[in-house]
Structure 1
Amino acid sequence: MGPVVQDGELNSVHEDLSALEVRIGYSFKDRALLDLALSHISAVKGEAPRVRSYQRLEFLGDHVLGSVVSHMLYDAFPQAEEGELSRRLAELVREEACADVAADMNLGAHIRLGPGETQSGTHKRRAILADVTESVVAAVFLDGGYPAANALVERYWRQRLEAPRRPLRDAKTVLQEWAQARGLPPPSYREVARSGPDHAPRFTVAVDLPGLETAEAEGNSKQAAQKAAATAFLVREGVWNSNAS
């Protein structure tokens, strides 16, 4: 059972869902599943609101999404070891990634909320957007089976899979592995300068490897400056591109 909708709002709700179906590339046989996937607990009246909100679908969608993305990764990276595949999977199904997909789908405009939650901007919260994304995946899975869910995930996650929006590993770890693979000692980091007041210092750190040009970067802590310096080194050497850094 979906949220309570006034009679005068029924046609506009159906039009909204039709627009959403076009955007996600799937038309529901049972439109109630999509309505349920978009129903926040605050919009559900009566008994057992958690059961009649998107929460159960979210549970299922989390696992369907993980399964589809895992299969995509297995096929896309035949030489990748389990550890790399796990890191890529975690990046693609994390809350931030699902919220980004929700933005691409414009799900926030379709989430059913109670009046109080509407006023507080719940539909813009990252955690809610991520949850609803997973619930929509589950709704498609229940309505159209695995092939339909697979097509939806391919539509919105393929580009993210092929071009990650952030590095999969810490820059210092990547630089150390890069140096080790070339027979070099571990990178050494040294503080070059410190500026700013005590409550808001800025550190400049240099990273050195024998026979290679030093890279420097700033940060609001020594650790942040070290990571920035390692990133600058990796970008300069062509290990990372500037967009991934």
Structure 2
Amino acid sequence: MNGESLAEINPLIQQLGLFQENSRLLKQALAHRSYTHEAGGDSNERLEFLGDSVLSLVISEYLFMHYPQKPEGDLSKWRAYLVSTESLARLARKLGLGRYLLLGVGEDKSGGRERRSILADAMEALIAAIYLEYGWERVKTFILEQWEPLLALMEKYPLPIDPKTHLQELLQAKGSVPRYKLVRAEGPDHNRLYTIAVYNGNSFLGQGVGRSKKEAEQEAAEEALKDLE
């Protein structure tokens, strides 16, 4: 979507049920600094700063109110998991946020639409934009709706687990184990991008991209969990 008109985010607007075509806040939420360096305007970094705090407060309040029996230490671990880059990126992918990002040419060509940190930052910026445009109650509703699959994990696990461990446990319960396979490695040594697929036997479950094999495996596991959970 680099350089393209804002009208092309209409599917996202319809999906969210929020914003207008000419929303300045929405455009800013989707604008990575690589884009604004080339095209001018404001990037999503300030919105990301605000969105981080809004998200943390909504999640903290939810945990405090819904789990009075959990000690502070457990609540802190769950909050850290729920507001992590990993969780934010996972939910941004579920929204399909990557396709709507405004990226610089180089960032776009290097796989920025799938980069975990960029997706997570855009999700935080989107939260801030909703808060500024619609207020506390609407952004709270949005967050709790989007985070529902992750919050549901609290009913199954006493403490949060990473996607690879979660996938391992799900498949082991069915008498199997996940198998990870390197699909490709691209770019110079100092800026390598790995693509890894995960299988259950010969059945493809998901694929992930990351700056390390570990990160790509975690993302592949996240993708697999979308269909298995």
- TM exceeding 0.5: yes
CA contact (8 A) 2:9 2:21 kept: no
Residue in 2 that maps onto 1:41: 33
Q: Which secondary structure does the structure 2 equivalent of 1:52 belong to?
A: coil
> Deviation per CA, 1:153-182, whole angstroms, max 9, x where unpaired?
011012311225977268xxxxxxxxxxxx
* Alignment of 1:156 onto 2:146: yes
Deviation of the 1:46 alpha carbon: 7.1
2:55 aligned residue (65, 68, 84): 65
Counterpart-to-counterpart distance in 1, 2:148 and 2:60: 12
* Alignment of 1:168 onto 2:155: no
Counterpart-to-counterpart distance in 2, 1:4 and 1:58: 20
Deviation of the 1:78 alpha carbon: 2.1
Return structure 1 stretches of 4+ with deviation > 6 angstroms: none
Deviation of the 1:29 alpha carbon: 8.8
Counterpart-to-counterpart distance in 1, 2:95 and 2:160: 28
Residue in 2 that maps onto 1:90: 80
CA contact (8 A) 1:37 1:53 kept: yes
Residue in 2 that maps onto 1:26: 18
1:123-142 superposed matches below 5 A = 123-142=113-132
Residue in 2 that maps onto 1:102: 92
Residue in 1 that maps onto 2:135: 145
Deviation of the 1:26 alpha carbon: 2.3
CA contact (8 A) 2:2 2:104 kept: no
Q: Which secondary structure does the structure 2 equivalent of 1:78 belong to?
A: coil
Residue in 2 that maps onto 1:17: 9
CA contact (8 A) 1:28 1:143 kept: no
CA, structure 1 residues 73+169, in 2 after alignment: closer, same or farther (shift >3 Å)? Answer: closer
Q: Which secondary structure does the structure 2 equivalent of 1:26 belong to?
A: coil
Q: Which secondary structure does the structure 2 equivalent of 1:80 belong to?
A: coil
CA, structure 1 residues 121+64, in 2 after alignment: closer, same or farther (shift >3 Å)? Answer: same
Residue in 1 that maps onto 2:64: 74
**How well do the aligned residues superpose, as a CA RMSD in angstroms?**
2.8
- Which blocks of at least 5 consecutive residues in structure 1 are unaligned? 171-242
Instruction: Give the aligned length.
Output: 162
**TM-score scaled by structure 2?**
0.63
Deviation of the 1:4 alpha carbon: 8.6
CA, structure 1 residues 169+144, in 2 after alignment: closer, same or farther (shift >3 Å)? Answer: closer
1:114 aligned residue (94, 98, 104): 104
Q: Which has the larger radius of gyration?
A: 1
